[in-house]
Chain A
Amino acid sequence: MTTSPAASPAAVPTADAPITAVPITGAAVTYLRYVRSEVSRVWRNTRLLIFSLALPIILFGAFSSSGADDRLGDLTVAPYIMISMASFGAMNAVLGTAGRIATERSIGWNRQLRLTALTGPQYVLGKVTTGFTLAVLPIVAVFAAGDAMRGVRLSAGTYLGAGASILLGLVPLAAFAIWLGYLVRPENMQAITGGVFSLLALAGGIWVPVENFPGWLADIVKLLPMYWSAQAGRAVLAGGWVGGRGLATLAVWTVVLGAVAGRAYLRDQLRT
């Protein structure tokens, strides 16, 4: 870890290189410390453990029990549902960012943090990083359940590729979570995110496979970002990748939701 990217500018022998290198390193350290403290604080949260860990495993057990040889798209039932539920749990972990931002805004904790070396953008980025770190847990857990309960055993590379693809597919939802966090009051957050979770899961083909939807509905679902998170994971299992159309859909949603979230964040910074 001695050759961190932040140290490389110092190698260029100019007069002000050490001056620029120091704050970059300092800022990165502050950010990493913030993520570490957030992850260690949040991961034991009961709601998080229920919705992003217990529920996906239970649903996987229930939905994957029948028709072992039936096919959904390119996969048999068990691996298909396994990816859906890993994606569902990860989605809940990433969307949990919204509630945390809203709560901290309501109690003025983000104002308190603005008196530290942590900058506003680092705060938001730290929250997102925390969400994605917490999302690794349900993915690993559901993959383990797939192996233990239905004998779905994959190569290390496939596990890694599928997990990473699921997380990649959740990038637009991270922006969406930031937007919600700066938009919704914490007292309404539970009701709103509860509804949003269900809607996203339904529209993403998490609970009912898109293969069972009527064609017109499947076309709409494929325009939404949530579908592509699970689809990206399944594509890896089928030996491919998410594909150009999926990547483009995710990119467009990331830009749109990122812009909306950025505006909400800036409005909040100026208001308080």
Chain B
Amino acid sequence: MTRTPSPPGSAFRAGAESDPTPPHSVHLVGVRKRYGSVQAVDGVDLAIAPGEVVALLGPNGAGKSTTIDMLLGLTRPDSGTVRLFGRAPRQACTAGLVGAMLQNGGLLPEITVGKMLTAVRALYPHALPTAEVLARAGIGDLADARTDRLSGGQRQRVRFALALLPDPDLIVLDEPTAAMDVESRRAFWAAMRAWAAGGRTVLFATHYLEEADAFADRIVLLRRGRVIADGPTTEVKALVGGRTIRATLRGLDDAGLAGLGRLPGVARVESRGESITLTCPDSDAALRALLAAHPAAEDIEVVGAGLEDAFIALTSDDVATTGAAAGREETSA
């Protein structure tokens, strides 16, 4: 317990090769899950040290929910191991170490928010008082409201309160702000930040880069059930937050095409006839260099890449397949 936790990003490499003596909050090794013909999760390794705030970022169907379900012990992996604080997920939950907001999770009907929280509270070994949890989730005024008469944003806040109940060391949030408007989203993250300031571990799934950027110390990029990047938020953001430059270059030969790839700020080049597409971590530098090298360039467009585009760019070996691989079908509420 005296060894300092590995720094973010390098954590899983350090953890995967040796036995995790100082227990990571989360430790997945070679986790796989297949649903029918779809390999939803395809060998995920992930180690999260206590106190880290990690975003699991990926498009719909990337395997985020399936990974989280296996992490929480709600789904059994086909292979691989899952440990939370060095224990099986079930044992960690029983000990009250884990709180979670599951995707599309409903609330118990025919009861008030306060009574529901008190009922669940009784099922944890060292839970926080209901009033305190209501206050921390910013819903002290909802204690007497019926669970089936809440707005979408209010329901999410109540589910956040449920996650806080056991006074957990790890909180796992699966697309926590999906049903929230901008205002509730801001309030939610403010409450979340206040909670995490105590050195507790947070893992949240999102498909918004901005959300991951604003809140996480570290981003784990998931695509088609695999981790395709894992590192500090600033690095991963540079990787996926880039822009795309499209232009028409008349009379471009192979040598000229190869030259484009060497321009500053350009990560990748695609061409279709005379039309070229450059994937750029630094589009400003790339555009200046492009115009210097090809002053006659026409039809120039600079667009911000969507997350899915960025992911395709990062996994260029399988560009041909478009669209996200369908992971676990996420039922709509």
Contacts and interface: CB of A to CB of B under 8 A. Distances in A.
State whether these chains interact.
yes
Interface of A: 26, 30, 33-34, 36-37, 41, 45, 103-104, 106-109, 111-119, 270, 272
Contacts of B185: none
B122 A37 contact: yes
A117 B125 contact: yes
Interface residues of B, number: 32
Interface string B96-121: 10111010111111110001001110
| 9 A-B pairs with least C-beta separation | A107-B106, A37-B119, A116-B123, A33-B122, A108-B105, A117-B94, A118-B123, A115-B93, A115-B100
A107 B105 contact: yes
A41 B115 contact: yes
B166 interface: yes
Nearest to A33: B122
Contacts of A106: 106
A270 B75 CA distance: 6
Contacts, number: 69
A36 B118 CA distance: 12
A103 B74 CA distance: 18
Contacts of B99: 115
Given A115-B100, A116-B94, 18 more contacts: A30-B123, A33-B123, A36-B122, A37-B122, A41-B111, A41-B119, A104-B108, A107-B105, A107-B109, A108-B102, A109-B106, A109-B108, A112-B105, A114-B93, A115-B99, A116-B93, A116-B123, A272-B69
Main SS of the interface on chain A? helix
Contact of B124 (A112, A114, A116): A116
B124 A117 contact: yes
B162 interface: yes
Contacts of B93: 114-117
A109 B148 CA distance: 14
B51 interface: no
B73 interface: yes
A26 B124 CA distance: 10
Given A114-B73, A117-B125, A107 B107 contact: yes
Interface of B: 69, 72-76, 93-96, 98-100, 102, 104-111, 115, 118-120, 122-125, 162, 166
B123 A113 contact: yes
A135 to B, nearest CB: 19
Nearest to A272: B74
B112 to A, nearest CB: 10
Contacts of A114: 72-74, 93
B76 A111 contact: no
Contacts of A104: 108
Contacts of A118: 123
B256 to A, nearest CB: 56
A115 B111 CA distance: 20
A270 B109 CA distance: 25
Residue from the set B73, B95, B98, B124 with the largest chain A CB neighbour count within 10 Å? B124
B99 to A, nearest CB: 7
A34 B72 CA distance: 21
A17 B182 CA distance: 55
B105 A34 contact: no
A175 to B, nearest CB: 24
A111 B105 CA distance: 8
Contacts of A112: 102, 105, 120, 162
Contact of B75 (A26, A37, A117, A272): A272
Contact of B109 (A33, A103, A115): A103
Contact of B105 (A37, A45, A109, A116): A109
Contact of A116 (B69, B108, B166): B166
A103 B147 CA distance: 14
Nearest to A112: B105
Nearest to B73: A114
A172 to B, nearest CB: 28
Residue from the set A36, A45, A117 with the largest chain B CB neighbour count within 10 Å? A117
11 contacts: A26-B125, A30-B123, A107-B106, A109-B105, A109-B108, A111-B102, A113-B120, A113-B123, A115-B93, A116-B93, A117-B125
